[in-house]
Structure 1
Amino acid sequence: MPTYRQPGTVVTDHHFQVPLDHAEPAGEQIEVYAREVVAAGKDPDTLPWLLFLQGGPGGRSPRPVGRDSWLDRALDDYRVLLLDQRGTGRSTPADRHTLPRRGDAAAQAGYLAHFRADSIVRDCELLRRQLLGEQGRWSVLGQSFGGFCTLTYLSYAPEGIREAFVTGGLPGLDRTAEDVYRAAYPRVRRKVEAHYARYPRDVETVRAVVRHLREHEVRLPGGGLLTAEAFQALGMMLGTGNGSHTLHYLLEDAFLPGSELGDAFLAQVQGHLSFAVNPLFAVLHEPSYGQRSVSPYGTGWAAQAVRAEFPRFDVDRALADELPVLLTGEMIYPWMFTTDPALAPLREVAELLARWERWPDLYDPRQLARNEVPVVAAVYHDDMYVDTAHSLETADSVRGLRTWITNEYEHDGLRVSGGRVLDRLIRMIRDEL
């Protein structure tokens, strides 16, 4: 196990072999990577473990440089394990290069069916037994999708958890993907309208950009097609603390003198829109809500299906009626698999997964109702990515779960708060608040 030092920390690499399908433990194996971080000068054997489950799906764990972000607070009390969930980071990759080696689209879909929260939790249990022993228990911190995984963990393997912290990630236990997006579009509209109220000149800039995109074929530096609908997806930025300001600075450099979109602008847009870094987010985002008892016919293209109920998001209507163009949020649409070169080879498998009818349930409401693990959760008021009402319904369904509801932070509060969000949750679970 390679070990190295960073400012204030000692870091150890861990590689684990886990079954692709935990129902067939002797079958195909894949690799899962995790990074252990301990404060310099502390004896790791005296510290309890804290497993961090990253947001996503498809997001790799943080790449810290010393004691940065929330990790600084965590290292005061814990030996932290940053997991690259299966298919991400240094774990066995799943992308446009590796997936076609599995065979046709049906074979690829069968493979990716093992990359949801239920499989991630079973990976965690194997890691726990190897690192802590059969009777060892660890603390779990789940951010966003990592919080979804934490609820799955509490449902099916609570014996492995000592205590659980959730930030911006209490899922609706019985909500379909369509329910999720039907609740999301109004929240996104509010975020966009708040952005335009802050930066009124951006209304016309956005209208000018989408008019240009309707009249011209525009390619991004990597070859992707920038359509008006793809441009709308920049609204996903508005769910973070500084997203509105970042979007404004992006827009102010949109046009060169004249009417062309500048290279610097297009390069930045590509950085925000391309799924090259996390293709699993696009492929598995809607399937991450799939449960046989809730969505027996699959998740479909839920964001696309529900969008028609919200005509204000229609670009052409906004232009014709001289209305502000609304941007979209954390929505995945089928056209993304034609405009983004990182996703184009995965179009057929994405179609199959949208119609997949064999998703096992991710949560056990009966187990959660008799939960005995201490759980605390930060719920961000008007979180653009996770519906507050759904989160509070779930909080009421988990025995003993305590919530901190705040509008001080957006969805990225854990990362940007300098450890304050995590510190409050730690003090809550210790009954210091």
Structure 2
Amino acid sequence: MTSYRQPGLVLTDRHFTVPLDHAEPAGEQLELYGREVVAAGRCGADLPWLVYLEGGPGFGARRFAGKQAWLARAVQEYRVLLLDQRGTGRSTPQNRQNLPLRGGPEEQAAHLAHFRADSIVRDCEAVRRTLTGGAPWTVLGQSFGGFCAMHYLSTAPEGLRTVIITGGLPALDAHADDVYRAAYPRIQRKVEAHYARYPQDVPRARRIVEHLTEHKTVLPGGYTLTPEAFQSLGILLGGGDGSHQLHYLLEDAFVRTGAGHELSDAFQEAVLGTLSFAGHPLYAALHEAIYAQGGKPTDWAAERVRADFPQFDAAAPLNGDGPLLFTGESIHPWHFDVDPALRPLRETAQLLAARTDWTPLYDPARLAANEVPVAAAVYHADMYVDAEHSLRTADTVRGLRTWVTDEYEHDGVRASGTRVLDRLLALARGDA
């Protein structure tokens, strides 16, 4: 193990070995990485463990610099493990470069089927037994990390001391179609609120779509910026300062050249940094699979359901049918055409979208008998996770306490500093 310091903290690199398939413990193994974080001066203290599960899927645990955001509150009483979930960060990452080692698309799809919440939770249990000697620990699940926490409660509650969920209470039985049917109206409201704040962005967005329609635009690195891809910048609107980020991005879109106005290099670089999946390809490959259960394929749910909302057509503003509606947290087949980090995985993604033998993720009967203290922040206007779905789930989990607020967006646990985590810990303990 390697230990090092940041201001006020001591960090230690931890490595663990787990089976690719927990049903075959003697089979192929994966290496997991976790970063242990403890307050300076408390390294030798007997502290309870808290494991953080990042949102996504497909993102490694957040890389903090010192006591940032919720971490400052957590290290007051916990030894924290920032776990890179399998396939992400430093935990045997999966991407276009190494997946071909598995074989063709069928072999790759079969391999990636082991990278959902069910496998992540079994990884956590293996890690917990190694770190705590069998003692239960606290789980903090952000967004998809909260989905994992609900699976944890459904399958291995004996490993849990407390569960804290932020923006990640999933519908227990909703198909991906239901998720996106609820999502598009929420996204539209977010876009309309953005234009109400920045009305000058209406003509700016229309002008960019017009340019992209008339000129094939390939960003540095080979990403093809189509009108539909440009629309997906709306993913920014789910964060607390996302509307402002989008506004500043749009206002610098064009530069005057000898050949007329063109999309500026600065704009293209900024768009690429937002839209590219090079750093998190599993987000695209497995995003709809996080909702898959019950013997039905996801079958590109976001794309199919979008057809029921014609106002999201990228051509609508060019036809005089209102302003451009940005989209949000949705994955479409064309993502695997425009993004060079995803193109080699297109057939693999298609096989995952057609898969029907996904195992159930949640056990309603076990959740109804839950004895683990659970507290969840439900963000009333959350663009990524439907608040009504979350509250219906909260009603089915025995003892779960919710904090419903419109003070924060989906990233509230980070944007609030220590406040969200502090409030939820108090709720879980009955102190609030």
Q: Same fold (TM over 0.5)?
A: yes
How do residues 314-333 of structure 1 correspond to structure 2 at under 5 angstroms?
Answer: 314-333=313-332
Matching of residue 113 in structure 1 with residue 113 in structure 2: yes
The amino acid that maps onto 1:122 is R
Q: Could you tell me whether the CA contact under 8 Å between 1:10 and 1:37 is conserved in 2? A: yes
Matching residue of 1:382 = 381
Q: Could you tell me whether the CA contact under 8 Å between 2:73 and 2:418 is conserved in 1? A: yes
How do residues 243-262 of structure 1 correspond to structure 2 at under 5 angstroms?
Answer: 243-257=242-256, 258-262=260-264
Matching residue of 2:355 = 356
Q: Secondary structure, in 3 states, of the residue corresponding to 2:32?
A: strand
Matching residue of 1:195 = 194
Q: Could you tell me whether the CA contact under 8 Å between 1:337 and 1:347 is conserved in 2? A: yes
By how many angstroms is 1:426 displaced? 1.1
Count of aligned pairs between the two proteins: 429
Matching residue of 1:398 = 397
Deviations 1:272-321 (A, max 9, x none): 00000100000000011111x2xx23111000000011010012233212
The amino acid that maps onto 2:39 is A
Matching residue of 2:59 = 59
The separation in 2 between residues aligned to 1:322 and 1:167, in whole angstroms, is 37
Q: Secondary structure, in 3 states, of the residue corresponding to 1:259?
A: strand
The separation in 2 between residues aligned to 1:270 and 1:47, in whole angstroms, is 42
Matching of residue 173 in structure 1 with residue 167 in structure 2: no
By how many angstroms is 1:222 displaced? 1.2
How do residues 18-417 of structure 1 correspond to structure 2 at under 5 angstroms?
Answer: 18-134=18-134, 136-257=135-256, 258-291=260-293, 293=294, 296-417=295-416
Deviations 1:151-187 (A, max 9, x none): 0000000000001000000000000000000000000
The separation in 1 between residues aligned to 2:5 and 2:193, in whole angstroms, is 44
CA RMSD of aligned residues (A): 0.8
Q: Where do 5+ consecutive residues of structure 2 fail to align?
A: none
The separation in 2 between residues aligned to 1:172 and 1:430, in whole angstroms, is 25
The amino acid that maps onto 1:225 is T
The separation in 2 between residues aligned to 1:360 and 1:430, in whole angstroms, is 33
Q: Where do 5+ consecutive residues of structure 1 fail to align?
A: none
Matching residue of 1:428 = 427
The amino acid that maps onto 2:53 is L
Q: Could you tell me whether the CA contact under 8 Å between 2:84 and 2:91 is conserved in 1? A: yes
Deviations 1:160-219 (A, max 9, x none): 000100000000000000000000000000000000000001000000000111111001
Q: Which runs of 4+ in 1 moved over 2 A?
A: none
The separation in 1 between residues aligned to 2:321 and 2:292, in whole angstroms, is 39
The separation in 1 between residues aligned to 2:430 and 2:296, in whole angstroms, is 44
The separation in 2 between residues aligned to 1:270 and 1:222, in whole angstroms, is 9
Q: Percent identity?
A: 64
The amino acid that maps onto 2:102 is R
The separation in 1 between residues aligned to 2:315 and 2:116, in whole angstroms, is 37
The separation in 1 between residues aligned to 2:92 and 2:185, in whole angstroms, is 38
The separation in 1 between residues aligned to 2:344 and 2:351, in whole angstroms, is 13
The separation in 2 between residues aligned to 1:417 and 1:6, in whole angstroms, is 21
